Chain A
Amino acid sequence: NAGVTQTPKFQVLKTGQSMTLQCAQDMNHEYMSWYRQDPGMGLRLIHYSVGAGITDQGEVPNGYNVSRSTTEDFPLRLLSAAPSQTSVYFCASSYSYQGSGSYEQYFGPGTRLTVT
Chain B
Amino acid sequence: AQSVAQPEDQVNVAEGNPLTVKCTYSVSGNPYLFWYVQYPNRGLQFLLKYITGDNLVKGSYGFEAEFNKSQTSFHLKKPSALVSDSALYFCAVRDNGGYSSASKIIFGSGTRLSIRP
Contacts and interface: CB of A to CB of B under 8 A. Distances in A.
Contacts, number: 62
B44 A56 contact: no
Which size bracket describes the interface of B in this complex? 20 to 34
Residue from the set A4, A42, A106 with the largest chain B CB neighbour count within 10 Å: A42
Interface string A31-67: 1010100001111110010100010101100000000
Chain A contact residues, majority secondary structure: strand
B90 A31 contact: no
Contact of A56 (B45, B101, B106, B107): B101
B50 to A, nearest CB: 10
B14 interface: no
B109 A107 contact: no
Contacts of B46: 104-106
B105 A42 contact: no
B65 to A, nearest CB: 13
Contacts of A35: 107
Contacts of B116: none
B42 A109 contact: yes
Contact of A48 (B36, B90, B104): B104
B49 interface: yes
Interface of B: 6, 9, 32, 34, 36, 42-46, 49, 51, 90, 94, 101-110
Sort A-B residue pairs by CB-CB distance and give the 6 closest, nearest first. Answer: A42-B109, A107-B43, A50-B102, A43-B107, A104-B46, A107-B44
